[in-house]
Amino acid sequence: MARRLGIGGGFGARYGTITRRQHIEILTGLRSKHECPKCKFKTVKRWSVGVWLCKKCGYKFAGGAYAPITKVGEIAARATRGMMSPSTLSTELDSLRAGARVAPSVAPISKRPRTRRKKQVEPTETTVEEDAGQANEGQPAEQKSPAEEESPGQSDTNN
C-alpha cells in the first residue's frame, strides 16, 4: 500500500481531488505567517477562530476564520475610507454574493513586508594594557640598550 504524505495525505483516495486540494490550500494558508496591519512584519499567526495575533508587536485583531483579511473585510475597509459611493458598494456586495472575485483594494503601493533585523555584534572593550599603551602614545618610548635586554641570569664578565 502506498504511503500518503503531506497535509491531505490522511484522506487517502476519499473525498475527491478537488475537495482535497481545497482543504490543503486552506490549511497551508492558515498555518503560514501573514503580514501585520500595524507593524508590517510577517509575524501574524492565528490565535483562535477569527482572532489573529502579531508575535512582534502583540497586536490582536479580528479577521476571517482561515485568513486575517477577507474579501468582505476589504470592501468594508474601502467603504469606511470613503473610496466608493453607496451604489458601487451595493453593486460589489451583490457581485460577491453571486460568486464574483473582488478587485483588490485601491490602497497606496506599500513597501514589501519588513523582516526582523539581525543583532549587530558590539565591539569588545579594550583591555587595561591597551589603554595604558594608548595613554603613552604622545610620549617617546624608552629604548633599552642590547646589554640591558639580556636575561637577568647572565652577568658581566668584565667586572
Q: Which three cell numbers stand for residue 101?
A: 472575485
Query: How far is the C-alpha of 54 from the C-alpha of 58, rounded, in Å?
Result: 5
Give the confidence band of 106 by pLDDT, cuts at 50, 70, 90: very low
Cα–Cα distance, 54 to 67 (Å, whole number) = 13
pLDDT-based confidence at residue 121 (cuts at 50, 70, 90): confident
pLDDT at 55 over 80: yes
- Residue 52 reports pLDDT greater than 80: yes
Lowest mean pLDDT among 5-9, 39-43, 72-76, 104-108: 104-108
Q: For the chain, what is the HEC assignment?
A: CCCCCCHHHHHCCCCCHHHHHHHHHHHHHHHCCECCCCCCECCEEEEECCEEEECCCCCEEECCCCCCCCHHHHHHHHHHCCCCCHHHHHHHHHHHHCCCCCCCCCCCCCCCCECCCCCCCCCCCCCHHHHHHHHCCCCCCCCCCCCCCCCCCCCCCCC
Q: How many Cα atoms sit within 13 Å of 124 on the Cβ side?
A: 4
Give the three cell numbers for residue 24. 490543503
pLDDT in tens, 88-102: 878 887 887 777 665
Mean pLDDT computed over every residue of the chain? 76
